[in-house]
């Protein structure tokens, strides 16, 4: 049943039987931008949504993980790749789907990679070869745009941005 519990101010899912409150909170997605000799690792999705499009290794963080460990696990699962010299890269808010992305940047260890179960293929791309029209999600496009702009700006500070869905379903990016 949906109701506002005592002392709360928002509607929650409350079990009629036992009274337990099932809070629903934003979910964390963690991922990595991996560089190898000026190229960046992308995975082509073997699952919906966006089957066949290119993405960065990323996925839902699990309980009892740290954000870094979660990002490394996703990179291992999707690309059988390891990360060296990882740094916090960006935080993105996706309020329309109640997600927060935490992205790291690092070096691909030994240049080794191999498609995981949820991946059709893994490839390295030079900036000029990035398939901008075939990226799976706006947050992937924004991550790569910021990543390639950083060395030109000479700055590697942590980025923050909002990925907003407008009423007409188009996407707006706000950078802070």
Site string for its own copies, 38-67 (x = CB under 8 A): ----------------------xxxxxxxx
Choose between 106 and 130: whose C-beta lies nearer to its own copies: 106
Per DSSP, the three-state class of 164 is strand
Which range binds its own copies by CB under 8 A, 17-25, 106-114, 120-128, 130-138? 17-25
The runs of H, that is alpha helices, within 28-126 are 67-79
Kindly report whether the peptide bond that precedes residue 49 is cis, defined as omega within 30 degrees of 0: yes
Choose between 120 and 124: whose C-beta lies nearer to its own copies: 120
Q: How far apart are CA 150 and CA 5, in angstroms?
A: 47
Q: How far apart are CA 13 and CA 23, in angstroms?
A: 7
CB atoms within 10 A of CB 131: 12
Q: How far is the CB of 133 from its own copies (least distance, A)?
A: 28
Q: How far is the CB of 7 from its own copies (least distance, A)?
A: 9
Size of the site for its own copies (CB under 8 A): 31
Choose between 66 and 149: whose C-beta lies nearer to its own copies: 66
Q: How far apart are CA 117 and CA 115, in angstroms?
A: 7
Instruction: Tell me if 150 contacts its own copies by CB under 8 A.
Output: no
Q: How far is the CB of 174 from its own copies (least distance, A)?
A: 9
């Amino acid at each position: 049943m949906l109701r506002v519990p005592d002392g709360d101010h928002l509607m929650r899912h409350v079990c009629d039987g036992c009274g337990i409150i099932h809070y629903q909170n934003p979910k964390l997605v963690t991922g990595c931008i991996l560089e190898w000799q000026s190229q960046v690792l992308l995975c082509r999705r073997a699952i919906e949504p966006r089957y066949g499009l290119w993405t960065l290794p990323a996925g839902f963080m699990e309980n009892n993980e740290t954000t870094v460990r979660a990002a490394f696990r996703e990179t291992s699962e999707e690309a059988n790749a390891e990360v060296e010299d990882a740094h916090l890269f960006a935080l993105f808010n996706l309020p329309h789907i109640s997600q927060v992305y935490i992205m790291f940047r690092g070096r691909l260890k030994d240049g080794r990679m191999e498609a995981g179960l949820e991946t059709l293929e893994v490839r390295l791309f030079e900036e000029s070869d990035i398939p901008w029209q075939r990226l799976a999600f706006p947050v992937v496009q924004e991550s790569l745009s910021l990543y390639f702009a950083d060395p030109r700006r000479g700055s590697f500070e942590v980025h923050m941005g909002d990925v907003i869905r407008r009423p007409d379903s188009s996407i707006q990016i706000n950078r802070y």
